[in-house]
Amino acid sequence: MASTIHPALDPAFFGEGPARDERFTVKEVWVDMVNLPEDDPQWKMEFFHRQMNEECNVLENAASNITDFPDADWNIRYWLARQAADEARHVDTYRELLEARGGAVGQYPVMNFQYRILRKIDTLIGRLAVQNRTFEADGLDAVTHAIEEARRDGDDKLAEMYETQQADEVLHIRFANDWIKEQLGKDPRNVLHMSRALTQGARAFEQVFAKGGTNVMKYGVATEARLEAGFDPGEVEVAVQQSDARRARVRERLGID
């Protein structure tokens, strides 16, 4: 079903939403979601539901990259197909978790910003920079933190699931990093395509999360996992500095030492 554009979003940055059946209520901005405090007993359920749909967005993006760029080299198309298969498994896993713990598909609203943002990026290098190298790298930090939390809570089954997902996400970021580096060496114009896409993606992301939602207080950059995912030490260092600065700004805003 096509999504209408929310007044807070610039239509230049957001394409049509993906198809969702009648079970789903689709929202366009973070503030319209069900955002529960972490100590709410329903928090985890809502997280599994939201994540199930996010994984579906990543699956849809990986698959679209194959159909939208039929002339891309075989190697990258192979990796995108493999990624699509992994993401389909992630969707299933979150659905199983949700249902095993008493939840149901459609119980909470969902957002499809990852898909909609990618629709407006017209180069494969730009899409991989935004989806794999940014959204999934942020997801890698989140899942690395979630592993520690699940272990701490004695939820070993959940921790194992997150570890499997972490291993997959490292591969998805790494193949994109490898391919992007190769493309940058081949044609200097690719630097421009990539930076334009990153700027567009960042502005679009800010519009979706305008009133909060970036969980910057909780955890920093998963340095080891990012190195494993093919980021250079210098790039990881920049990510750490940016993350620390973001969290410092939030602490300042909230008046926390």
CB of 80 to Fe ion, least distance (A): 11
Q: Interacting stretch for Fe ion, rule CB under 5 A, among 3-11, 49-57, 110-118, 199-207?
A: 49-57
Pick between residue 136 and residue 141 the one whose CB is nearest to Fe ion. Answer: 136
Pick between residue 60 and residue 169 the one whose CB is nearest to Fe ion. Answer: 169
* Tokens representing residue 82 in the block: 């493999």
CB of 188 to Fe ion, least distance (A): 29
- Under DSSP, is residue 111 helix (H, G, I), strand (E, B) or coil? strand
Q: Interacting stretch for Fe ion, rule CB under 5 A, among 44-52, 86-94, 117-125, 245-253?
A: 86-94
Pick between residue 46 and residue 87 the one whose CB is nearest to Fe ion. Answer: 87
- Give the torsion sign (CA, 135, 136, 138, 139): positive
CB of 136 to Fe ion, least distance (A): 5
Pick between residue 46 and residue 136 the one whose CB is nearest to Fe ion. Answer: 136
Beta strands in 36-185 (DSSP E): 110-111
User: Does residue 44 touch Fe ion according to CB under 5 A?
Assistant: no
Are 34 and 108 contacting, i.e. CB atoms less than 8 angstroms apart? Answer: yes
Are 94 and 194 contacting, i.e. CB atoms less than 8 angstroms apart? Answer: no
* Tokens representing residue 68 in the block: 């939208």
CB of 229 to Fe ion, least distance (A): 10
Residues 127-146 close enough to bind Fe ion by CB under 5 A: 136
CB of 82 to Fe ion, least distance (A): 10
* The residue to which tokens 């030492």 are assigned: 257
**Distances 246 to 2, 10, 249 between C-alpha atoms, Å:** 34, 24, 5
Q: Which amino acid is at 49?
A: H
Number of residues that bind Fe ion (CB under 5 A): 6
DSSP class of residue 134 equals: I
Strands 26-27 and 110-111: parallel
Beta strands in 9-91 (DSSP E): 26-27
Among 50, 90, 116, 120, binds Fe ion (CB under 5 A): 90
Residues 60-79 close enough to bind Fe ion by CB under 5 A: none
CB of 180 to Fe ion, least distance (A): 15
On the CB side of 48, how many CA atoms lie within 13 Å of its CA?
Answer: 23
* The residue to which tokens 């209520």 are assigned: 25
Backbone φ, ψ for residue 236 (5° rounding):
-65, -40
Pick between residue 56 and residue 125 the one whose CB is nearest to Fe ion. Answer: 56
CB of 249 to Fe ion, least distance (A): 28
Pick between residue 3 and residue 166 the one whose CB is nearest to Fe ion. Answer: 166
Residues 155-194 close enough to bind Fe ion by CB under 5 A: 169, 172
Chain positions contacting Fe ion, by CB under 5 A: 55, 87, 90, 136, 169, 172
